Structure 1
């Protein structure tokens, strides 16, 4: 039953990727163009550091799957792509492994094919400390993701209906495991209040996991006999909204959900993310065209990211957070309702000296 559910998730997620893309609130974020801001490409680095974690690039393959024969093959190919491009990678939820140890290889293949890469294990918020440690040990993981997904569980026919234990359990796991703990949403977003709570629980990083990418309410509704939860499609906050909402909370954030291209990666970094994850768009490429095409896609995104940093005058991904941004449309309305003043974003270069001075200095 679990293996079938995992295969259903993949099939329904790919179907979503083949549908019309529509508007995405990343489209409500634009850079102020400064024609003399550019720097030299050899001076650009893609390295990023946060919460004691150092990555060679700010792009990662986010949690997708595992637990069945088919998903084990997918994880193998994802791991190969991560190895060949140097991007970090996260496993899908390892709940299937805890229920049936015979599917361990569908997860451990991430490390077998990517022995020197940055690998994240993934568990749910009901897992015990012992299970959290088992997940880390199986993958020799460099970090542990705990996913939170009340909306998905609510729509899932066999999903959990008890959520009150999640907060204390996250705190226990964060205190007990020896690797950094990252709490991630699965596509409905983390609010400012939630990120603040995670900070106070001892979580090291929040993966905002906003609306705009794979919609797990829609996926689980597609598995229901009556498909009677269609009204929850589109629930939650977008990734750009979450990034703006989480400013100044004091917890490093990663951005995932609705990332379509290198420009969206650049926008997310400029909005304060230390790294940007994608899953659905990579899954579609892998399933449609194979691992070689996925390697080419990720390599292209990294090359384009470096090109955009060069054009914008950002030597590092962190420097993108000094570039001037304009916030438009429904995203601007969200900010107004949440009491977020977006006007300073449009004038950040005045104080951070991103633009070249007459001397040619950018500092």
Structure 2
């Protein structure tokens, strides 16, 4: 895969070699993300950060990743603060904003909207989530996290055992992650959800066609003895009403007692965040916060590395980053 000048719209653009390239560059970004070094390789470049749906981590992570490469960020948040609320088309918005930017990151509530926007853009567009469809950069950072966490116990993604839990129907993060897992071999996948929120057939077919072993169930008990447990939030914003979403909230809670009883001693816990910590939901209990296998914050940190790598690759500077590095005067390794 040639990255330079290309949009990142779907995980289906990636093969294993392309994933290896992203991960290799992501690891090289570690000293810049941790502020041990600074690079100005994208000095003068502008990111158009367009988020037409609520976001904290993804929006800020894209912005921070670009800043850490030396670039500047211009943001639009919310549909109401954009010309889209006045009836402007995605194509027209793309033609205008891309003339102000060198690369664009975009989130939109409608499936397929980012690809539609990209048709009018003159610069690379990175999909930050389009409705219930895909979230490719989240899937890449999830896979990167899985690789890192398994490596600590001398395991690999090939042959691993993963349990995906919660809203698998509307959870775009598990859709995109599952498509990436289809590039690997001999993965055991347990899908735990209410039958009404089961994984879509398209995703099941992709996993099955890859030769993976699938188990579909609505019970946590007996199904958490995995290398990775990937918990998801009930996607309230995708339901017709809050009342309908409430029917499923809190169905699959994980706390330290359940972890000790049903998980392996080194089972890694992941979640794309935000986790719903309200009492009626409490997907991942706070009593897991001190569990060393809770990887949700390492997962979020990895989002910076992966998005830095994607920006560098799309703008063709991945081999120049260290040539523009300098010391960080405020860094202290105490």
TM-score normalised to structure 1 length: 0.28
